Chains A and B, each alone.
Chain A
């Protein structure tokens, strides 16, 4: 291996690592706020990429159907809840977000010439289609179980992941997609070439991480989420309902997950089930941070990216084995540093 190759592998590792870092952050967010270990995060990644690809090729993305079905399901569930509580005050808002909004999205997806519109608009529209799916998943699968044990929530999470992979296959098909890079060209620095897409990925990731930081530090909703993460019961007494915190954190998960997919789509071909492995690599990072620390999770995810790219050079057949086995030394280390038996 020479310096050129090492630099190339580092570039590759940092690019993927930045994506894993974004995912690791959302996983820490979801876990601390809702105690859900959010396995289906990878599906949002895949859907982000596949939705953008469909828009760019002038096809109707399967996402619109997901949104319509999810919306109808949420409306039905909410209607039953309203009927039971004999309280219909919030029902118009439910109708608006779960029937009207998906309807408008459908019309826009169907009748606007998306393949001729600029990339920025395509990306924004793809996000507008996917992001509401986060809160829908929360409402349908997790909200009724918000008080259940971490273990039960994890099993639900895995079940949702399986269902969403199957649904992804149904609506996006088995073919993979790859989108063109955001911009062509590259930068040469001291004889070493950096791809434009790498810069996009790293730049956007950093911007998002900063935005998340400001969201948590400066905004009311960010502080509400932090309060819930520290103490759910306390936050609820202060007027922050668990369901709101859950909706909001799943919305952020969907947003960042889908955007990660959009960022990575020009780098690798994405299939309906690719997201799972990408999400799990984010998980390895998040576990390095003990599912609690944002900075360590991000650094851990970067490490995963680098490890993956270097092991694909030395032992490409064992790439996945090496990445997922990394979790073992991590767990050993955490196990040795943790105190006695923890109470759930």
Chain B
């Protein structure tokens, strides 16, 4: 995440801003119009970067949201006979903007509520259907002017200055866009932003860290829709008339192309994509009909093929390729070690029972993965869960941490019955875990990955979090979170990797990273799924020492592990599983001599 280079990003952005500000005084009317369109498209594509590249969702229906913003304001500012309860909003484009955002936000919220709980592809499919029906609706509703649309829309005026001309509204468009970029970059760099980025690491990981994934997905869907609506408002008052055509599904698809071609996981990719697609479209619309000797939208052939090739060959889009060419300096995020420590939860007394499972059974159809399993873990104790492959250890972990629900049986955590409570609730009570198959965000820094673990330790409402993040009101909180993450990384011995990309670490260290992330949650109990796998001998010894130290601090640890030396040297008690059942429990040396355990591991002597 660090890069040495000559050029500071601030210089580049400043240069770009100066050039943008000077553009209307230098460039032709035609070029300014083109830049206006690029700005409007980029605003929509920016929303898609948040939704698709960062959040792992997608929408083909953004054009419909643009349409909602445009039509709402257009209708309010042109309709001669508004109903009395709406009359206050008539005439002024600014009130139209507010109304447009309100309508779009409501519609997006409703659509999100019905699709976001379903698996990922229902949202985009829903947006295709939705985009189509809204387009047809614009074309049939009489009060929106049918296919002819609405005309005579007033220009926006700012402090009495009318923005009727292309050169005037240019400033507003690019100001809004730059502001949106700034807010979005801030947001992604905050606690909520990390939670949003965690969505791509899989729902199970995010929920286990206490992230409310449904709420987070809803938030980015609505934000993306509002950006589209804003673009629609600008469009309506720039064009001064609206008709259904620019809000068609095809245009919605084009917005997604812009984001993907530019680089869907990069904020600047939206601008690049909007620019490239708009210019290419101009050029192709001119060239192809002449080439083929027929009129029609042939540019879609090129866009379609280009997109397929890009997704096959360069899924990250153009921006990363472009960014590699410019030696921009990237300084690591500063960690303020003096930041106030995060509040810690009250820990259970040493020796008291933290987690208790009784008669837990899990059936997958006819397969019984866990049968009548019971175990308990005390504060200040390491309990090892061992057994041959396929014995049902990971299923047990998922049942205890709330990822799966047992078919029958009870699980109590700190005295509370947690069956059916879900991973997020259990995490908030103080259970933290790692995964057998490492689940982290490979392109994000080690520090940021670990900070996700501390998600629940600084609370703010969703709106407070989003606004606070976007407006950088959260810097004190952010310093505390990063300092905590750095502290936990030091503790597990990854102090020198804070600013590396998580995916660049060897697998063994990625597992250690997950332990740091779990520690960041200030847990009473840690579930560690094969923490020593992939570690070298000395690293294993260091890990054992760290875990032993945590134990003396009163932490309860439940671990699944195949390395017997590691287990027997560390664990206070051992539970052995085979075929989903507990076959033995006791001190390490007892278990090692148990004939049933020997048979399970080595086969019977017949």
| A131 at the binding interface (Cβ < 8 Å) | no
- Cross-interface CB contact of A343 among B60, B202, B292, cutoff 8 Å: B202
B311 adjacent to A152 (CB under 8 Å): yes
CB–CB A342/B311 < 8 A: no
User: C-beta contact mask, A133-172 vs B, less than 8 Å → 1, else 0?
Assistant: 0000000110011001111101110111111111101100
In chain B between 144 and 178, which residues have their CB closer than 8 angstroms to a CB of chain A? none
Decide yes or no: A37 and B312 within 8 Å by CB, A155-B58, A159-B304 being known contacts. Answer: no
The residue of chain B having its C-beta at the shortest distance from the C-beta of A328 within the complex is B114
- Complex CA–CA separation, A22 to B122 (angstroms): 21
The interface bits of chain A over 323-344 (1 if a CB of B lies within 8 angstroms of the residue's CB, else 0) are 1110110011011001011111
Contact B118 A331 (CB under 8 A): yes
Answer whether A156 and B311 are a contact pair too, CB < 8 Å, given A324-B130, A340-B422, A341-B213: yes
Number of contacting residues on B, CB 8 A? Answer: 54
B301 & A335 in contact (Cβ 8 Å cutoff): no
Residues of B within 8 A of A159 (CB): 257, 303-305, 307-308, 311
Binary CB contact string for chain B from 95 to 119 against chain A (1 if under 8 A, 0 otherwise):
0000000000000000101110111
In the docked arrangement, what's the CA distance between A344 and B57, Å? Answer: 11
Determine the distance from Cα of A162 to Cα of B113 in the docked complex, in whole angstroms. 29
Main secondary structure of the interface of B (DSSP, over half): helix
Task: List B contacts of A170 (CB < 8 A).
Answer: 292, 294, 296, 298, 301
Do residues A144 and B312 form an inter-chain contact, with CB atoms below 8 A? yes
Hey, which chain B residues are within 8 Å of A340, CB to CB?
Answer: 117, 422
Q: How far is the CA of A158 from the CA of B304 in the complex (A)?
A: 8
Is A343 touching B204 in the complex (CB atoms < 8 A)? yes
**Complex: A344 Cα to B439 Cα, angstroms:** 13
| Cross-chain contact B132 with A141 (CB below 8 angstroms) | no
Contact with A along B405-429 (1 / 0, CB 8 A): 0000000000000000010000000
Minimum distance in angstroms from B435 CB to a CB of chain A: 12
Assess A324 versus B129: contact at CB under 8 Å? Given A318-B140, A335-B117, A338-B118. Answer: yes
Would A287 and B298 count as touching, CB distance under 8 A? no
- Per-residue CB contact flags for chain B residues 489-513 toward chain A (1 = under 8 Å, else 0) read 0000000000000000000000000
SS of A interface (majority): helix
Check if A155 sits within 8 Å of B140, measured CB to CB: no
- Would you call B43 an interface residue if the criterion is a C-beta within 8 Å of the partner chain's C-beta atoms? no
Q: Given A166-B301, A280-B129 in contact, is the A150-B121 Cβ separation under 8 Å?
A: yes
Interface string of B277-305 (1 = CB under 8 A from A): 00000000000000010101111110111
Give the size of the chain A interface in residues (CB under 8 angstroms): 53
- Interface 0/1 of B219-262, CB less than 8 Å to A: 00000000000000000000000000000001001001100100
Q: How far is B299's CA from A119's CA once the two chains are assembled, in angstroms?
A: 36
Cβ–Cβ contact A334 & B121, under 8 A: no
Q: Of B203, B298, B300, which contacts A341 at CB under 8 A?
A: B203
Contact of B304 among A161, A283, A318 (CB under 8 A): A161
A277 to B111 Cα, complex, angstroms: 21
Given contacts A166-B300, A169-B296, A334-B118, contact A151 B124 (CB under 8 A): yes
Expressed in whole angstroms, the Cα–Cα distance for A156 and B312 within the complex equals 9
Are A162 and B124 within 8 A (Cβ)? no
Q: Is B76 part of the contact surface with A, judged by Cβ < 8 Å?
A: no
A284 CB–B CB distance under 8 Å: yes
Q: Is the CB of A162 within 8 A of B304?
A: yes
B298 touches A335 (CB 8 A): no
B124 near A335 with CB under 8 A, answer no
In the complex, A320 has a CB within 8 A of chain B: yes
A200-238 to B contact mask, C-beta < 8 Å, 1/0: 000000000000000000000000000000000000000
Pairwise interchain contact A145-B312, C-beta atoms closer than 8 A: yes
> Separation in Å of the B296 CB from the closest CB of chain A?
5
Residues of chain A contacted by B292 (CB below 8 angstroms): 170
- A151 and B121 within 8 A (CB): yes
Q: Is B561 an interface residue (CB 8 A)?
A: no
Smallest CB–CB gap between A233 and chain B, Å? 15
> Which residues of A have CB within 8 Å of B137?
318, 321
Q: When chains A and B are docked, how far (Å) is the Cα of A168 from the Cα of B253? A: 18
Contacts of A324 in B (CB 8 A): 129-130, 132-133, 136
Query: Given contacts A159-B307, A163-B305, are A151 and B58 in contact (CB under 8 A)?
Result: yes
Bound form: Cα–Cα A31–B496 in Å: 46
Contact of B115 among A149, A154, A280, A335 (CB under 8 A): A335
Q: B9 at the A/B interface (Cβ < 8 Å)? A: no
Nearest Cβ in chain B — how far from A15, in angstroms? Answer: 22
A317 at the interface (CB under 8 A from B): yes
Chain A residues within 8 Å of B125, by CB: 37, 283, 287, 327
Query: Does A158 contact B122, Cβ atoms closer than 8 Å?
Result: no
B214 within 8 A of A: yes
Residues on A lying within 8 angstroms of B by beta carbon are 37, 39, 140-141, 144-145, 148-152, 154-156, 158-167, 169-170, 173-174, 277, 280, 283-284, 287, 291, 317-318, 320-321, 323-325, 327-328, 331-332, 334-335, 338, 340-344
A-B residue pairs in contact (CB < 8 Å), sample of 12: A140-B308, A149-B120, A169-B296, A173-B294, A280-B129, A321-B136, A324-B130, A332-B114, A335-B115, A341-B207, A341-B214, A344-B203
Known: A145-B312, A332-B114. 13 other contacts (CB 8 A): A140-B308, A145-B311, A155-B307, A158-B60, A162-B300, A166-B300, A166-B301, A324-B130, A324-B133, A331-B114, A335-B117, A343-B203, A344-B203
- Residues of B that sit less than 8 Å from A by CB: 52, 56-58, 60, 111, 113-115, 117-122, 124-126, 128-130, 132-133, 136-137, 140, 202-204, 207, 213-214, 250, 253, 256-257, 260, 292, 294, 296-301, 303-305, 307-308, 311-312, 315, 422
Q: Which 9 A-B pairs have the closest CB atoms?
A: A163-B304, A166-B301, A159-B307, A324-B133, A162-B304, A166-B300, A327-B129, A342-B119, A324-B129
